[in-house]
Amino acid sequence: MRLFRFCAVFGHALLPSIASASQQQPLLEATSEARSASQWKFNYSSEAPHYFASAYGLLQQWPNTFFPNGHSLVPCEIPPFTKLYHGRRDGDVPPSPEWFAFDIGMSYGIMGSSRDSHMLTYQTTRRVKCIYFDGESATLFGTGQLDSQNLHIWGNTSGPSRPGNGFRGLWEEYARATGLCDWFQEQKLGGPGWGYEGIVRMNAGFEMIWCNFSSPSIRLISHLNITAPLLPKQDEEVIVKAQDDSTLTSYYPLPPSPTRSDRATDPANPPVPPVNNPPWIREPFFHSQAWAWYSSATTHYGSNGDGPGRPETHVKPMSCGFLSYYGPDFLSQALPRAQEEQKSLNLTKDGLWTGPGKSGSRAKAMESLTRRRRYHTLDSITPSDASIMRVNSERVLRDLSSDSPANCSGIDWSTMTNDIVQTYGSSLFRFLNTLERFENVTITNLTSVRDWMIDVRDETHSFLLPFLEYPDDDANDNIWTRDSSLFKTTYSRCRYQFTRLLDPEEGISLGPEESLLQWSVEETTGGICSVLVDVGLAVEGLWEANFNVPIKETSKPEVPTQFKNEVSRWTEGIEQLMAWLGWAGEWVRCEQRCAWDESCFIPMWPMIPFRGGRGGGRGPPRREPGHGGPPGGRPGGRLSVFDELFAFDDPPNNRTFRPPGRGFNPWQPNEDDLWTPKCVKSDYILTGRG
Ligand SMILES: *[C@@H]1O[C@H](CO)[C@@H](O)[C@H](O)[C@H]1NC(C)=O
Ligand SMILES: *[C@@H]1O[C@H](CO)[C@@H](O)[C@H](O)[C@H]1NC(C)=O
Ligand SMILES: *[C@@H]1O[C@H](CO)[C@@H](O)[C@H](O)[C@H]1NC(C)=O
Ligand SMILES: *[C@@H]1O[C@H](CO)[C@@H](O)[C@H](O)[C@H]1NC(C)=O
Ligand SMILES: *[C@@H]1O[C@H](CO)[C@@H](O)[C@H](O)[C@H]1NC(C)=O
Ligand SMILES: *[C@@H]1O[C@H](CO)[C@@H](O)[C@H](O)[C@H]1NC(C)=O
Ligand SMILES: *[C@@H]1O[C@H](CO)[C@@H](O)[C@H](O)[C@H]1NC(C)=O
Ligand SMILES: *[C@@H]1O[C@H](CO)[C@@H](O)[C@H](O)[C@H]1NC(C)=O
Ligand SMILES: *[C@@H]1O[C@H](CO)[C@@H](O)[C@H](O)[C@H]1NC(C)=O
């Protein structure tokens, strides 16, 4: 029975007091009882993992699409000579404020394919400052994506009440833009040519509200009428013109610097989509433009199930000024949220998970825990909490516009948090899969058990490698358990691997924003290390006691249930850790590799193909969008936003336009499309097929 001498090894991890008293006893009866209650005590009510996840996701399309309701804002900078695109449906230069896209695909996607489409390309002339609202913060028909901006401007999520029927589609956009730009001016945080001049947001791609187009911080470098000749009507003759192919070697002349200085305002009436004979029917690039817009967004997917990826690199977050409603100050949201999640996720008052219940499925429960952040909103933030955020942000923006900010250590928190996700994101998923393979190990076959154990140990070893020093041979059996000194030192090295030098005793003192980042990093690494060091040491102990010996195929050992129990303890630990971290997007990808003419699609507003009858889907709780698509009947498979965006020059008609705002949202993506993304071809965006 040498092979399975368990007691000393994992008894302790379960019941330290009993174990230390009974080191030499073969099998602990108490163990099975201890197993039924979860040993892993994750606090699912803690905001720390959300704070962390929000910080690592900055400027990455993928995580912000899975978690669309932004809670955070961060000051940012844009380097000189960055290109910015402004598309229009007229030949004018823009009033102010107006919008820039960082990708031409996005600009053309919104403003192309009309009879008077124009593209203005600008470049920044200096380093420009901005602020960035995370989440899908430019989703105009949403379920909370605009809340952090609205709170900033108006102190509530609804904004000013309007005469008439309230919701006005795209039309609060100018009020929001002006609200934020005026705030910069009033607080003396920025103005034309200095300080903060733009607000960065995301829908399918990143865009920026630019406060003043007369600012010397930007220069117009081309202004083109990009209206393309229409496709012929049926049977119409096509006249092909000869090309002028003279070549130019000199710089092209710059267009004059625009002098337009009027204010942009919300139009008086909401746009109403045309119903019949849409004007774009003969536009030659109508089909490719949607795909080009979508594709441009995929270039900054960032971190996802295929590993790290490029974020929107034109915008550099100044992470030492990161501010988030997940911070411990904002109890007006945290308390009701904790209460609600106690009910919906079966948590105790302390945030501990009580299990899936008698009838519930464990896998489903894990899934809801892992995805819980998706349904967070800022509904309950009080005006006074909103004003705390605003005042904090003014202090931070002012500090970071100085040449020597008072509170910026220089730590790149974006890189640090992304390092952590890269180190543990996919490797935890892989490790879970290795553990789950145990169910297929022939447990009576020692070689087979040992082979599996080698795989497990390879992985735990790489987790512990930076932190573990193997103890002397004569260390006692107790050494591999949770209350050994080996555990404590290994755990501490693991937990503080990024922040050891931030101990105040090292003479470092961080400002309030970086202190919270430090807290969220340490809580996160703490959660990770608590499971990985425990499991890793237990694996070492089992290995040393039972596997690090020559195998004799002739021996026919019984595998005690304790070994199986121990393996399921590890598995549960990793599952609960992953659920607690909630990095759901990191564990989602297209299972097949996409072909050259395909792309891995997730629905990003407004790239949400509507399939007649099937739209809606399961939305966030309390926000039942439900029913099959938008009111008034939409022809199957048109890209939803195009109806709205293309409505600019069309006279209003009588189509009913129900307010999509809260509680109703025709653009609610189908949740399955999000969680099981698949490779699609270019037709998919417009048709929902392919
Ligand atoms: C842009 O070009 C289109 C097509 O040639 C033309 O109809 C339109 O008038 C032009 N717009 C301006 C402002 O010149
Ligand atoms: C939200 O704030 C605006 C501006 O402060 C105010 O006009 C409006 O009445 C408020 N709405 C609610 C529902 O309190
Ligand atoms: C933009 O800046 C110019 C020059 O400083 C100023 O005249 C104009 O009023 C500003 N426009 C807006 C909308 O703030
Ligand atoms: C879990 O976190 C919440 C929110 O911070 C806190 O109120 C609660 O006391 C924590 N539970 C434990 C067991 O620490
Ligand atoms: C909570 O309990 C219910 C009923 O037992 C179950 O259906 C659900 O999956 C559980 N959810 C979680 C997150 O445990
Ligand atoms: C166990 O083997 C079965 C049959 O080959 C397979 O379907 C299943 O996915 C395997 N389980 C794991 C966790 O690998
Ligand atoms: C035990 O497992 C090993 C490796 O999986 C295999 O090669 C061997 O044939 C098995 N032995 C028996 C007796 O099934
Ligand atoms: C810098 O941090 C200190 C210590 O937390 C704080 O008192 C001070 O208000 C901060 N200053 C700024 C400009 O953020
Ligand atoms: C549509 O609008 C027109 C003009 O406002 C009006 O005369 C007509 O009665 C409306 N039709 C319907 C069905 O509401």
The reported pLDDT for the residue numbered 168 is 52
What is the distance between the alpha carbons of residues 178 and 198, in angstroms, rounded to a whole number?
11
What spacing in Å lies between the alpha carbon of 115 and ligand 1's midpoint?
A: 7
To the nearest whole percent, how much of the chain has pLDDT over 70?
Answer: 79
What spacing in Å lies between the alpha carbon of 544 and ligand 4's midpoint?
A: 37
The reported pLDDT for the residue numbered 236 is 64
282 in any annotated domain: yes
What is the distance between the alpha carbons of residues 281 and 512, in angstroms, rounded to a whole number?
55
What is the distance between the alpha carbons of residues 397 and 364, in angstroms, rounded to a whole number?
43
58-80 mean pLDDT: 98
The reported pLDDT for the residue numbered 551 is 65
The minimum-distance atom of ligand 8 relative to the CA of 407 is 1
CA-closest candidate to residue 171, choices 603, 661, 664, 651: 661
The reported pLDDT for the residue numbered 474 is 74
CB of 554 sitting under 6 A from ligand 5: no
The reported pLDDT for the residue numbered 553 is 55
Q: Whose Cα sits closest to atom 8 in ligand 8?
A: 511
The minimum-distance atom of ligand 6 relative to the CA of 436 is 13
What spacing in Å lies between the alpha carbon of 151 and ligand 2's midpoint?
A: 10
Highest mean pLDDT among 3-7, 23-27, 184-188: 184-188
351 in any annotated domain: no
Q: What are phi and psi of 58, to 5 degrees?
A: -50, 130
What is the distance between the alpha carbons of residues 356 and 191, in angstroms, rounded to a whole number?
54
Number of domains in the chain: 1
What is the distance between the alpha carbons of residues 89 and 93, in angstroms, rounded to a whole number?
11
Look at the pTM and tell me if it is higher than 0.95.
Answer: no
Q: Note the pLDDT tens digit of each residue in 646-661.
A: 333 333 333 333 333 3
Provide the greatest CA pair distance for the chain: 95
pLDDT at 238 over 70: no
374 in any annotated domain: no
CB of 555 sitting under 6 A from ligand 7: no
Q: Note the pLDDT tens digit of each residue in 49-60.
A: 999 999 999 999
What spacing in Å lies between the alpha carbon of 592 and ligand 6's midpoint?
A: 19
Bridge partners (DSSP) of residue 123 are 83, 219
What spacing in Å lies between the alpha carbon of 546 and ligand 6's midpoint?
A: 26
CB of 362 sitting under 6 A from ligand 5: no
pLDDT at 550 over 80: no
Sorted by sequence, the CB contacts under 8 Å of residue 560 that are 6+ apart come out as 4, 6, 27
The reported pLDDT for the residue numbered 109 is 94
CA-closest candidate to residue 611, choices 656, 657, 670, 680: 670
Q: Note the pLDDT tens digit of each residue in 135-165.
A: 999 988 777 899 999 999 999 998 876 655 4
CB of 46 sitting under 6 A from ligand 4: yes
The reported pLDDT for the residue numbered 521 is 98
Q: Are 209 and 201 in contact (CB under 8 A)?
A: yes
CA-closest candidate to residue 198, choices 122, 98, 61: 98
370 in any annotated domain: no
502-525 mean pLDDT: 95
pLDDT at 619 over 90: no
CB of 503 sitting under 6 A from ligand 1: no
206-211 mean pLDDT: 98
The CA distances from residue 282 to 58, 229, 230, 349, 656, in Å, are 39, 9, 6, 61, 27
CB of 331 sitting under 6 A from ligand 4: no
665 in any annotated domain: no
Nearest bound ligand to the CA of residue 275:
9
What is the distance between the alpha carbons of residues 389 and 383, in angstroms, rounded to a whole number?
10
What spacing in Å lies between the alpha carbon of 524 and ligand 3's midpoint?
A: 46
Among 38, 40, 42, 45, which residue has the most ligand 4 atoms within 8 Å of its CB, making it the best to mutate?
A: 45
| pLDDT band at residue 552 using 50, 70 and 90 as cut-offs | low
Please, where are the H alpha helices in 211-321? 286-298
**In the chain, helix, strand, coil percent, each to 5?**
40, 10, 45
Burial of residue 185 (number of CB atoms within 10 Å: 0-12, 13-18, 19+): middle
Q: Are 130 and 75 in contact (CB under 8 A)?
A: yes
Burial of residue 671 (number of CB atoms within 10 Å: 0-12, 13-18, 19+): middle
Q: Note the pLDDT tens digit of each residue in 18-46.
A: 233 333 222 223 333 333 446 899 999 99
What is the distance between the alpha carbons of residues 121 and 224, in angstroms, rounded to a whole number?
9
Token readout for 531 is: 């499971």
- SS3 for 304-364, per residue? ECCECCCCCCCCEECHHHCEECCCCCCHHHHHHHHHHHHHHHCECCCCCECCCCCCCCHHH
CB of 90 sitting under 6 A from ligand 6: no
CB atoms within 10 A of CB 305: 18
CA 125 to chain centre: 31
Q: Are 629 and 613 in contact (CB under 8 A)?
A: yes
Residues written for the chain: 690
The reported pLDDT for the residue numbered 669 is 73
CB of 439 sitting under 6 A from ligand 6: yes
pLDDT at 234 over 50: yes
Q: Note the pLDDT tens digit of each residue in 276-332.
A: 567 778 899 998 999 999 999 999 999 999 999 999 999 999 999 999 999 999 999
CB of 440 sitting under 6 A from ligand 6: yes
What Rg, from alpha-carbon coordinates, does the chain have? 29
The reported pLDDT for the residue numbered 39 is 86
Burial of residue 390 (number of CB atoms within 10 Å: 0-12, 13-18, 19+): middle
Q: Report angle CA 553, 554, 559 to the nearest 5 degrees.
A: 75
The reported pLDDT for the residue numbered 626 is 25
What is the distance between the alpha carbons of residues 356 and 378, in angstroms, rounded to a whole number?
27
CB of 554 sitting under 6 A from ligand 6: no
CB of 274 sitting under 6 A from ligand 8: no
Mean pLDDT estimate for the chain: 84
**What CA dihedral angle connects 169, 172, 174 and 176, to 10 degrees?**
-140
CA-closest candidate to residue 299, choices 69, 130, 62: 62
Burial of residue 18 (number of CB atoms within 10 Å: 0-12, 13-18, 19+): middle
CA-closest candidate to residue 149, choices 138, 163, 161, 165: 138
The reported pLDDT for the residue numbered 414 is 98
User: Containing domain of residue 142, as a range?
Assistant: 63-231+251-320
10 in any annotated domain: no
Sorted by sequence, the CB contacts under 8 Å of residue 507 that are 6+ apart come out as none
**What CA dihedral angle connects 367, 609, 619 and 660, to 10 degrees?**
160
What is the distance between the alpha carbons of residues 275 and 261, in angstroms, rounded to a whole number?
35
Task: Please report, as a single letter, which amino acid is at residue 536.
Answer: G
What is the distance between the alpha carbons of residues 450 and 5, in angstroms, rounded to a whole number?
15
What spacing in Å lies between the alpha carbon of 49 and ligand 4's midpoint?
A: 13
Sorted by sequence, the CB contacts under 8 Å of residue 588 that are 6+ apart come out as 66, 304, 305, 674, 675, 676, 677
538-567 mean pLDDT: 79
What is the secondary structure of 36-60 as a DSSP string?
Answer: HS-S----TT-SHHHHHHHHHTTT-
CB atoms within 10 A of CB 1: 11
| pLDDT band at residue 540 using 50, 70 and 90 as cut-offs | very high
Tell me which residue has tokens 């000579």. 81
Burial of residue 683 (number of CB atoms within 10 Å: 0-12, 13-18, 19+): middle
What is the distance between the alpha carbons of residues 236 and 439, in angstroms, rounded to a whole number?
68
3-state SS assignment for residue 435: helix
156 in any annotated domain: yes
CB of 228 sitting under 6 A from ligand 1: no
Do the bridges between strand 72-78 and strand 598-601 make them parallel or antiparallel, or are there none, so unpaired? unpaired
The CA distances from residue 80 to 123, 207, 222, in Å, are 8, 17, 17
The reported pLDDT for the residue numbered 567 is 96
What spacing in Å lies between the alpha carbon of 395 and ligand 8's midpoint?
A: 8
The reported pLDDT for the residue numbered 5 is 35
What is the secondary structure of 528-591 as a DSSP string?
Answer: HHHHHHHHHHHHHHHIIIIISS---TT------HHHHHHHHHHHHHHHHHHHHHT-GGGG---S
CB of 382 sitting under 6 A from ligand 2: no
CB of 407 sitting under 6 A from ligand 8: yes
What is the distance between the alpha carbons of residues 49 and 580, in angstroms, rounded to a whole number?
7
- Range from 31-45, 338-352, 423-437, 538-552 carrying the lowest mean pLDDT: 31-45
397 in any annotated domain: no
The reported pLDDT for the residue numbered 132 is 98
Do the bridges between strand 194-203 and strand 128-133 make them parallel or antiparallel, or are there none, so unpaired? parallel
What spacing in Å lies between the alpha carbon of 437 and ligand 7's midpoint?
A: 16
CB of 227 sitting under 6 A from ligand 1: yes
Q: Are 500 and 538 in contact (CB under 8 A)?
A: no
